[in-house]
Structure formats: C-alpha cells, structure tokens
Amino acid sequence: MSTSIATVLGDNNRFNGASIASIPKESPDVTVLDEETLDLKDNLQSDPDARESFLAEFSAKESKAILNKVDRRFFILIGLMFLIKNMDSGKLASFSFGDMAEAGMFPGVITHLAYWYRTGEFSRPMVWFFAISNLAGIVGSLLCYGISYMNGLQGLSAWRWVFLIEGILTIILSGFIFWILPDLPKSPRSKSWLTEREQKFIETRLPLNAPVTGDKNFDWKEAWHAFRSPSVYGFMLCQTFMNLALAAFNWYLPTIITNFGFVGLPRNQLLNIPPIGAGILGIIFSSWFQSRGFVVRPAYINSMVLGNVIFLVVLAYAPGSKAKYVACIFTNLFSASFYPPYWSWRAGYLSGATGAAFAIGLQSAVSNIGSVVSPQFFQSKWAYDGYRNSWIICIVLVVCAQLANLYTWRLTRKVERQVLRVRREVLRAKKAGREYNGRDDVDALGDDNIKNRRLW
C-alpha cells in the first residue's frame, strides 16, 4: 500500500522531489472513503499522460459550468456563515466560549477549499468571503443603529435585542449549513449534485500537493513535517503581525471615529460604513488583479502592506480629524485588499489532508492572539495626542509583517514563478476554448529551496 502525499513542504515526500513528469503511478491510501465509494483506479494525478488526456476532454465552457456549480455551493453558504459570524464578532470578543466555538471556523474553511480550488484561483472564493466579512460590518452598524430605537421594547434593553436577534439568525443558519455544505469532492454528499465525471474533474485538475478525498484521516508524519516546515513559520509570522496591527485598528475604529466629534451616538455607527465600503472595493480589485496574472502574488501583497504603513503614519501624525478619517478609509482599503491574495498564496503550499489542516490550524492558533492583545494598544493614557503611541506600535508591527513576507517570498520564489506562468497558461487555454491540461503544472512538492530546514 502506498503512502499519502507528503505534507506541506516536507523534506521527504512520496515522490522524492521528482518532477511531475517522472512521478510514479501510485494511489493514495483509502481511509476517508472505502473502495466502493471511491474508485482508486480513477486517480489520475499520479499519471501525467492520463491526466492530460482526461483534462483535454473538457472545453473551457464545460469547465466553467462545473466550477460555477462549485462556486454557487460555497459562495452562498460560506458567505452567509461569514456574514453572521462577523456581525457579532466584536460584541462577543470577551466571551471565551463564543471564541472557542468560532475558532475553528476560518482555518476549517481554508482547508476545505483546498480540496476544491487550484492555488491560482483561490482568490475567487476569498474575495467573496472577505467582501461578505466587510459587508457584515455595514449590516452590523445598520442593525445596531436600528435596534437602538428598540431600547425598552418588551422590557429588554437594546443590547439584549442585538444578542437575541443575531443569536436566532446564527442558530437558523447553522441547520442549513450542516445539511447543505459540500463535503469532499468524491464524497457521497458531493455525488448528489455532481456527476462522477465532474467529481473526477475537480480532483484531477488540482496540483499534486493539494489534499484529496482519499488521503488519510490523520497522519502523524504529515503533521510533523508541517510543524518543521519553514514556510509555515514565515506565513505565520506575517499573519500574526498583520492581525496584531489590524485587529487593533478594527477594534478601536468605532471609538476613533466617535472621538473625531463629527456626530454623536447612535449616528456615529453610520460613519463606519465608508471605511468598510472602501475595503469591499479593494477586495474586489485584488481578486480581479490577481486573476489576470500580472505579477507574482508576494509582490502585490507587499504593496498592500506598504499602503498600510503609509496611512498608519498619517493616522499617527496628521493634525486634523478629517485627514485622519480619510486615513481610516484608506487603511481599511489596503488591509482588506491584503487578505484575499495572501490566503491564495498560503493555500498553494498546503499538502495532504493532515498537513493542510495542521498547518492552517497551527498558524491560526498563534496568529489569533491579535484579537486578545491588540485592544491593549489603545490605552486611555495615550489619548491626549490622538493615540500616536498606539499608531506607532501598529506601524512597527506592519513593518515586521513586511519583513516576514519578504522572507517567505524568498522561500517560495521559484514556485511563485511557476504559479504565475501556469496562471497565464490557464488564461490562454480559456481564450482558446479549452481546459488547461496540467502537463507542466505547479510543483510545490519538488522545490528543494522550500524544504531546506537550515533556512530556519
């Protein structure tokens, strides 16, 4: 019996660093599904010739139709999940049980999507999720503004109505998600809305490092390789520093806007809408820009981080409230634009079911300390000069994130050039009316530079 695909950038994978063209014809261990459910003979990822022949059967129109079916399933359901979750995220931040229940949601979504989407198209679902997350801020602000007039209704204060309404919406949505959210590509649930040929297409088109339905439920070796991977720590440091800075900004944004003195409660909630709207526009532009294959992803990501630094400096040193409010709008634009391409970049280096889940879980567990620590950056003793000290702390953290990005870019530079090349080939294939054949696909498993443990 063969071993499963090696993990995130492991030093010894089952292909021993061979190129895609020389990969032996092996099948993964049957652990998620039995052989009656999953026909291992249909696994074409390990056979380049068979894979190319199978993908050549699909036109660009048919490929788009299949992916649109997947998009409709994920975009609506997970979009609603993010909408409800982020509407009350600020209000529930101090409730440990609420945090425990929510903690696994985002890493679970990222890992799950890695079974369905190629790394070059990962920004497509990400733009939807992050746009919905920002939209939740607008909906939440309008909801709180409206509920403020329900104060005293049925003997309940307005804040109780907020928790009651959002809690009921969450419970109702959870039932739909449990029964409708797609499982793995070749699972029985997916078979109810995809044909066997379409299921096979979804997995065959993925890069070789992507997790697949037949991977082991848990593999200690994959987890250990993920734990030792230098790229895991590069991505983790970047996300941790960005979360620390931007969580502080988002946490205190309503108070900052109120302190500007433009309007009082509850109308100050409406001033949160322009920064959030700018963030949504930035997310949409990021997805479009990355989909066109103009530059490698780390270059674009670093430009977004630089934009954050510039406008955080404006927040720290601008003399007037109006200038600072404009800086708030642009800071949110650049910070929101950062995450879709970042997660597209990150997802390209997940490998194997256990490796993907462990790496994303570890990264999220560490990076989410931002939601705990960052509120302490804005202390009342620093309010006298517009929280300049607080903004300087945020600037330093974003600069550290930039350094972590540059290190990770150095680790992944060869694969990122492959991703850009393949993305352009995909666009040319679509223009010619055919599906990309995967002959010279992205090979994250065979990059010795990433697997070199001495780099860390």
Question: Would you say residue 91 has pLDDT above 60?
Answer: no
What confidence score (pLDDT) does residue 236 get?
Answer: 95
What are the Cα distances from residue 58, in Å, to 33, 197, 324?
A: 26, 10, 52
Long-range contacts of 92-96 (CB under 8 A, 24+ apart): 93/251, 93/371
CB-neighbour burial class of residue 188 (10 A; exposed 0-12, middle 13-18, buried 19+): exposed
Closest CA to 143 of 58, 270, 35, 45: 270
Which amino acid is present at 329? I
Residues 29 and 2 sit within 8 Å (Cβ to Cβ): yes
pLDDT at position 214:
85
- At 99-136, the pLDDT tens digits run 565 667 788 888 889 999 998 888 888 888 788 777 77
pLDDT greater at residue 438 or residue 331:
331
**pLDDT tens-digit map of 255-296:** 777 776 666 666 666 777 888 889 889 999 998 998 899 999
- Give the pTM: 0.79
**CATH number corresponding to 40-455:** 1.20.1250.20
Mean pLDDT of 74-91: 68
Q: With a cut of 50, say whether residue 34 has pLDDT above it.
A: no
Cα separation, 354 vs 227, whole angstroms: 11
The secondary structure element, H or E, covering residue 5 is none
- Give the pLDDT of residue 124: 84
Identity of the highest mean pLDDT range in 4-18, 27-41, 291-305, 434-448: 291-305
Cis peptide before 182 (omega within 30 of 0): no
Q: Which amino acid is at 59?
A: S
| Structural domain spans, the chain | 40-455
**What is the per-residue pLDDT across 150-179, written as a single tens digit (0 to 9) for each?**
877 877 777 788 778 877 877 887 787 788
pLDDT tens column, 172-185: 877 877 888 888 89
In the structure encoding, which two tokens stand for residue 138, read together? 């607008």
Q: Which residues of 62-99 are buried (b: 16+ CB within 10 A; e: fewer)?
A: ebeebbeebbebbbebbbebbbbbbbbbeebeeeeeee
